[in-house]
Amino acid sequence: MSNHERNVQAGNEASIHMDFSKEMSYGDYLQLESILSAQRRLSDHHDEMLFIIIHQTSELWMKLILHELQAAISCIWEKNLDPVFKMLSRVSRIQQQLIQSWDVLSTLTPSEYLEFRDTLGKSSGFQSYQNRLIEFAMGYKSPHALKVFEHEPKIYAQLKKALETPGLYDASIFMLAERGLPIDPGALQRDWTQDYQPNQSVEDAWLAVYRDVNKYWDLYELAEKLVDIENRQQQWRLNHMFTVERIIGNKMGTGGSSGVQYLKRVLDHRFFPELWSLRTKL
């Protein structure tokens, strides 16, 4: 028996590397020193740490969502749908993580939040540029939202580019046309800076896909992945609204929005409207 085998049998992991004076460690690779030193409370209140970490981790998950959405959009434009299904499945799993994060934040009571709320100043989740980029990628365009980012030229330019670029649903409609399904030219060459509006030719095309799944299996799979991520996005919005209402009631948001009332209004929005309306007509 070798020394290694004896060490393993004895419960000793002798082969584990211990000296990282000249090697990259786990902490080095993940830049943990930078990440774990970024939680700087502006008050002495215990629960402010929860508030910061929930929002920081949400932004990290959003970064991954954008990474996957942008890659998926590129693949659709390249008419390569196979990788898209995995990417969009991953997006929906990430969204589930974001949905569950509201359950953790809801352990913050109104009294506790009020003890450090004033330290936030006018900062607000409304100013999350990554959340705005996700909405833009999913076709929910709002040009007026860019104004809040004018003080950050690099971010403003990134948002402006995303505003003017076709999104995930636009690319999907392009694929419908590529497969020979009749699409109104107005849906293929529209003003990308505006929120997507329902189009009868798009609904008819998706209906054809759902009525002949065998012929259009890949488009059918794409449609269901789109429904998955819209469904999760709406769940995230709903949980966000209930969590905010639970903690601050109907108070105005720190950034000046109407708070819960604003969050309720966006719940009526559909990202991919024809994929929902067709279900009544099948």
CATH code at 216?
A: 1.20.58.480
> Does residue 155 lie within any of the structural domains?
no
Question: Rg of the chain over CA atoms, in angstroms?
Answer: 23
Counted domains in the chain:
1
Residue 137 to residues 31, 83, 123, 192, 209, Cα–Cα distance (Å):
29, 18, 24, 11, 23
pTM: 0.91
The verdict on residue 259 lying in a domain is yes
How far, in Å, CA of 65 to CA of 210, rounded?
A: 27
pLDDT of residue 177: 98
Range of the domain at 119: 46-127+167-280
Tell whether the model's pLDDT for residue 2 goes beyond 60: no
State mean pLDDT over 130-151: 94
Quote the pLDDT of residue 11.
61
Residue 207 lies in a domain: yes
Is residue 236 situated within a structural domain?
yes
User: At residue 7, does pLDDT exceed 60?
Assistant: no
Instruction: For residue 125, give both structure tokens.
Output: 């989740």
Binding-site positions for heme read 240
Which residue's entry shows tokens 């969204």? 95
* pLDDT tens profile 65-96: 999 999 999 999 999 999 999 999 999 999 99
Residues marked as binding? 51-55, 113, 117, 240, 254
In a domain, 247, yes or no: yes
Distance separating alpha carbons of residues 251 and 26, to the nearest angstrom: 44
Query: How far, rounded to the nearest angstrom, does the alpha carbon of residue 120 sit from its chain's CA centroid?
Result: 23
Binding site, annotated residues for substrate: 51-55, 113, 117, 254
Judged on CB neighbours under 10 Å (0-12, 13-18, 19+), 274 is buried
Does residue 12 form part of some domain?
A: no
Alpha-carbon span 146 to 142, nearest angstrom: 8
Structural domain contains residue 209? yes
Whether residue 139 is contained in a domain is answered as no
